[in-house]
Amino acid sequence: MTAIGLNGLVLERQGFRLGPISLELASGSRTALVGPSGSGKSTLLRCIAGLDEPSSGEVRFGGECVSGGRRRSVPPDQRGIGFVFQRGALWPHMTAVQHLRFVEPSIDRDRALELLHRVGLGRELAERRPHALSGGEAQRLALARALAPAPSVLLLDEPLASVDAHLRAELALLVRRLAEDGGLTLVVVTHDREEALTMADRIAVLNEGRLVDHGEAAAMLRAPATAATAAFLNRATCLAVEANGNGGVSTPFGDGPRPAGDGPWSLVLLPGDLEPAREAGVMARVLRCEPDAVGYRVHAAFDGHSVEFGSSNSIRPGDEVRLAPRGALRILPREGGRSV
């Protein structure tokens, strides 16, 4: 069953255009909206939440249109959602328990304490105000506040961005566990690959306001469909390539196969796609060399592009090395530019 449906959603504001985006998120699914800064991830999430009103298109919750269409927009508190803001957005004058009881007046103190316990906040923090909480504790409270009204959809806008690095993995797992336990439909905005893969099963990649790829995270990891997806999920290096007159594309490593469609295309180099070579290939300058389990991981640069390859020998930074692809060249659409 579809929990959230977006149908041709467009938002235009101050020279920025989001969409048109069409997307269906199944009930109980966990989706990460990823992409570079300014790609429209948070704006899309705010449209779903009802904090921003789309210029055109529809947002549907369980089949009911809540934004766009003929009827007036349904206010955020009537959409059955919980929302976690990037910096918590906790109210400085309220204690932890007061936060929960304000958003859900029906819960008593015991239930509030139980909810705080579920997000990892002890009883001793129940009467503290936000300024007396650490960054991680504050974000746990923000999570508890979002869960207090028992929503069916949980929206999180870069929830771990303001949390110390060592706490992020723990909090990401907590979010996932809470979503699984409660059967929640989860949509999380993040620009961190690890967080996305920990919290979500599905990934939606946005670039310059467009949804460029969307699917199962595991499948997208194995076979990214676009250069933008590969760059985010696989940490690939992407080089713009042009069609040549031979029905293929020209790359620094020679001609490659021309994919279907009109382009633009990118040569996608995943970590390990290149190896040192004696003759053909490109010359790259070594930036740094780190030992790993099987030898050395070498970071090098050519033509302003950073690449990574494995080596059995240590190479000094500054040395030049010739690199060639291990197998067939991977040419992908730069971003697809399509509504999914």
Partner 1 sequence: MRRARADSLWLLAAVAFVLAFVAAPLGCMALEIVWTGGRLDLTPLGTILGDEHDRRQLLTTVALGVTGTLIATLLGLGHAWVTFRTDLFAARALGAAGVVPLVLPPILVAMAFSDLFDTRGFAACAALLGLCYAPFVAVLAARGLRAISGEAYEAALVARGRAAAERWLLRAILPEVAAGALFAFAFVISEHGVPEFLTVKGKSWHTYAEGIFAKWTRRATGVDHAALASPIVAALPLVALLAVALLVALRLRGRATIEGDHRPLPMRRLGRLRHVALALPLGYLGCGVVLPLVVMGRWAGGSTNRATGVSLERMLESFRLAVTEASGDLGHTLLVGVAATGVLLLVAAPLAWNAARRWPWIDHLSIAPVAVPAVLLGIGMVRAYNRDLFYGFYDHGAILVAAYAARFLPFGVLTLSAAVRRVPRELEEAALFAGRGQFARAVRIHLPLFAPALGSAGCLAMVLALRELDVAVVLPAGNGTVVRRLSNIVHFGGEEMGGALALLLVLAATVVPLLAVILTGRKLRSLS
Which residues in this chain contact partner 1 in the complex, by CB under 8 A? 49-51, 72-73, 75-78, 81-83, 85-87, 89-94, 102-105, 145-146, 149
Instruction: Give min distance, CB of 42 to partner 1, in A.
Output: 11
From the CB of residue 210, how many other CB atoms can be counted at a distance below 10 Å? Answer: 22
Instruction: Give min distance, CB of 18 to partner 1, in A.
Output: 18
Instruction: Give min distance, CB of 51 to partner 1, in A.
Output: 6
3-class secondary-structure state, position 316: coil
Q: Hey, what amino acid is at 176?
A: R
Which one, 83 or 309, has the nearer CB to partner 1? 83
Question: Residues 114, 164, 218, 226: what is their CA dihedral angle, to the nearest 10 degrees?
Answer: 130
Instruction: Give min distance, CB of 148 to partner 1, in A.
Output: 9
Helix, strand, coil share (%) of the chain residues, nearest 5: 25, 35, 40
Lookup result for tokens 């290096």? 237
| Sign of the dihedral through C-alpha 5, 10, 13, 18 | positive
Which one, 75 or 245, has the nearer CB to partner 1? 75
Instruction: Give min distance, CB of 92 to partner 1, in A.
Output: 8
137 close to 174: Cβ distance less than 8 angstroms = no
Which one, 102 or 314, has the nearer CB to partner 1? 102
Instruction: Give min distance, CB of 89 to partner 1, in A.
Output: 4
Which one, 97 or 249, has the nearer CB to partner 1? 97
280 close to 245: Cβ distance less than 8 angstroms = no
Which one, 52 or 255, has the nearer CB to partner 1? 52
Instruction: Give min distance, CB of 271 to partner 1, in A.
Output: 37
Which one, 81 or 286, has the nearer CB to partner 1? 81
Which one, 20 or 50, has the nearer CB to partner 1? 50
d(CA 331, CA 74) in angstroms, rounded, equals 44
Strands across the sheet with 202-207, in order? 81-84, 153-157, 185-189, 30-34, 202-207, 210-216
Give the list of residues 6+ apart from residue 202 with CB closer than 8 angstroms, or none.
Answer: 25, 29, 30, 31, 32, 214, 215, 216, 217
Instruction: Give min distance, CB of 156 to partner 1, in A.
Output: 13
CA 47 and chain centroid, separation: 17
3-class secondary-structure state, position 19: strand
Which one, 94 or 315, has the nearer CB to partner 1? 94
Strands across the sheet with 64-67, in order? 16-26, 2-13, 56-61, 64-67
Instruction: Give min distance, CB of 225 to partner 1, in A.
Output: 34
Query: Per-residue b/e over 175-189, b at no fewer than 16 CB within 10 Å?
Result: bbebbeebebbbbbb
Which one, 36 or 149, has the nearer CB to partner 1? 149
307 close to 269: Cβ distance less than 8 angstroms = yes
